[in-house]
Amino acid sequence: MSAPHVFSLEGHTALITGGGSGIGLATAHALAAGGAKVILGGRREKELNDAVAAIGAAASAQVMDVTDTAAMPALAAALREKHGPISILVNNAGINLKKPFVDTAESELLGILQTNVIGAMALTRAVHPQLKESGQGSVVFISSMAALFGIPWVSAYSISKSALTGAVRTLSLEFGADNIRVNAVAPGWIDTAMSRKAFASDPARKEKILSRTPLGVLGDTSDIGWSVAYLCSPAAKFVTGAILPVDGGASIGF
């Protein structure tokens, strides 16, 4: 297989949650560039439609809410009817909360877990038969460097992303016999609207982060998108159960 073909995603259909912006949108662009059909899932219809227009004919939108776990089986069935079997699932949708642990209410912790973990698990379960049917299934969770080492004031988020690490390791064992690979990308500090907003109110924080990042820069959303594309491609056909840090070396430097 030639170098271009080993990274080809021709014949794949991918569902990306949180696909309308940020890392999800960059991932959709990368998968579409590799030849996959991409379904962008999310709650904001206009944002999704704008994203689809930017990607082109390979993309379509699906309004969905991962916290509505009871709706996942019917959603998966409807998507299969419309697009054929999903062979790539990117569990990207997620929310954060910056607050000391002792001030974090149980309802806030449960809210983070419902989106970041429970919703992702429900969707993965619902799509599993299609991943198996495809004969070349791939699940990628978007984790975080917060699952690799301690970061204060984001305990709920860190707990949720650490749970995804456990899911990757367990599901890779359970799904292997079905020729479904399960991996995660753990982004470091990425230049997104959310991070720019945080740094605008605390410029010193950005400088501190960059000083502890060996490459000395923030990542781009496309860095995550291309990493996901690699994990879903034939180039990674022997890769499963992996947590891939994409953080400029931050998880080493911290």
- Residues with catalytic annotation? 157
CA distances from 193 to 9, 20, 35, 202 (A): 29, 13, 28, 14
Helix or strand or coil: residue 212?
A: coil
* Helix (DSSP H) and strand (DSSP E) numbers for the chain: 11, 7
Q: Please report which residue ranges of 138-249 form alpha helices under DSSP H.
A: 155-175, 193-201, 203-211, 221-232
CA distance 230 to 243: 13
CA distance 134 to 45: 28
Pairing of strands 243-246, 13-17: unpaired
Task: Please list the residues that pair with 63 across neighbouring strands.
Answer: 42
